[in-house]
Amino acid sequence: MAANSAWNIVNFRTGLVESLVKAGFRVVVVAPADGYESRIAAIGALFEPIDINSSGTSLAEDGRLFVRYWTILRRLKPAVFLGFTVKPNIYGSLAAQLAGARTINNISGLGTAFLRRGPLQWLVGGLYRLALWRAATVFFQNREDLQLFVDSRLVSRDRSRLLPGSGIDLERFAPTPPDEEETAFGFLLVARLLWDKGIGEFVAAARIVRALHPAVRFQMLGFLGADNRSAVPRDDVTAWQEEGIIDYLGSSDDVRPFVRKAGCVVLPSYREGMPRSLLEASAMARPLIASDVPGCREIVEDNVNGFLCEVRSAESLAAAMIRMIELGPVERAAMGKRARLKVEREFDQRLIGAAYLRAIGGETAAVRF
């Protein structure tokens, strides 16, 4: 099992690892050492470190990454290679195929390269086509991403399957009312601080809304300083805090205390695979606001468990926020209850483990949603 960080496995794949271990598999996580190695051991997997420059575009450097994967996988001799995130999916899969392992890939999102047309998109697409050519199964987290890869001939339709995201631990993320001591209504955005997540639109919308509702809180929780071309500069975040528009909460491995204090969770992203932040908020019975884009619209049903807004539009986002404020606590609670019921029905993490076990066993059935 390979990803671009041990953190990714711990935060998004713990349920899958536990399902595989319970089924009797020996699981080895291949990822950069980032301080989460002990957590990998705690969920029953072994850890093999590898250096990855996730945002690098040097083909020479990526060639060396391929060699590192080949060296590790030749020694481990895995029966099946599970790939997550871009470079492990590409270079890890190529090395795994050379080492004689079956490959099962998970395209959890298209990333920055697919949001902007140009040489980088062409290059990444070509590498995906090469890496996925012999994959046993390729999982996607929304229909649009699956169809894009099939239409672009990056993968064949008969080996493409849908998964409902990475799944949610419904017991850990239990429904809870907002903390009673919080008197001011608050919007919370949970994401890495990237422009592609709609950070600029969130800040601009906050200015619009606070002109009408000055007591409303706007908070952001997520990693600042990501190794990504779309990263928001730290100085911008500091300026927003000094302006009094945004309260930046830092980053956390446990979002639950922050979601408990929020009245609504927001994600105005430009495109997603299946956003974890919206699933976690739904499980905790929070109403949602998100962009009407692939990934988000699979979770947010407009006027049912939240509101959809136009992508890249601060004005549309602000209008949705004002609607949410004006609903009042009773209707917001009803939206939150419907959000919880949706994740119970469609996004239970046990569905993910079952789908992977079928794929590893060579079955073609997958989760339908």
Please report the domains of the chain, with CATH numbers, ordered by start residue: 6-167+348-360 (3.40.50.2000), 186-346 (3.40.50.2000)
Task: Tell whether the model's pLDDT for residue 339 goes beyond 80.
Answer: yes
Which of 182, 226, 187 shows the shortest CA–CA distance to 203? Answer: 187
Task: Tell whether the model's pLDDT for residue 58 goes beyond 70.
Answer: yes
Q: 296: Cβ–Cβ under 8 A, 6 or more apart, which residues?
A: 267, 269, 272, 275, 278, 290, 308
CB 339 within 8 A of CB 286: yes
C-alpha torsion 272→276→278→284, nearest 10: 170
pTM of the model: 0.84
The arithmetic mean of pLDDT across residues 106-116, rounded, is 71
d(CA 23, CA 17): 10
Helix axes 276-283, 329-346, angle to 10 degrees: 110
Which of 259, 258, 320, 327 shows the shortest CA–CA distance to 292? Answer: 320
Q: What values do phi and psi take at 279, rounded to 5?
A: -65, -45
Task: Tell whether the model's pLDDT for residue 95 goes beyond 50.
Answer: yes
Mapped onto helix, strand or coil, the DSSP state of residue 287 is coil
Which of 105, 114, 167 shows the shortest CA–CA distance to 139? Answer: 105
Q: What digits encode the pLDDT tens for the residues 195-249?
A: 999 999 999 999 999 999 999 999 999 999 877 778 999 999 999 999 999 999 9
Handedness of CA 129, 8, 29, 74 (dihedral sign): positive
Q: Which residues pair with 305 in a beta bridge?
A: none
Q: What digits encode the pLDDT tens for the residues 75-88?
A: 999 999 999 999 99
Mapped onto helix, strand or coil, the DSSP state of residue 149 is helix
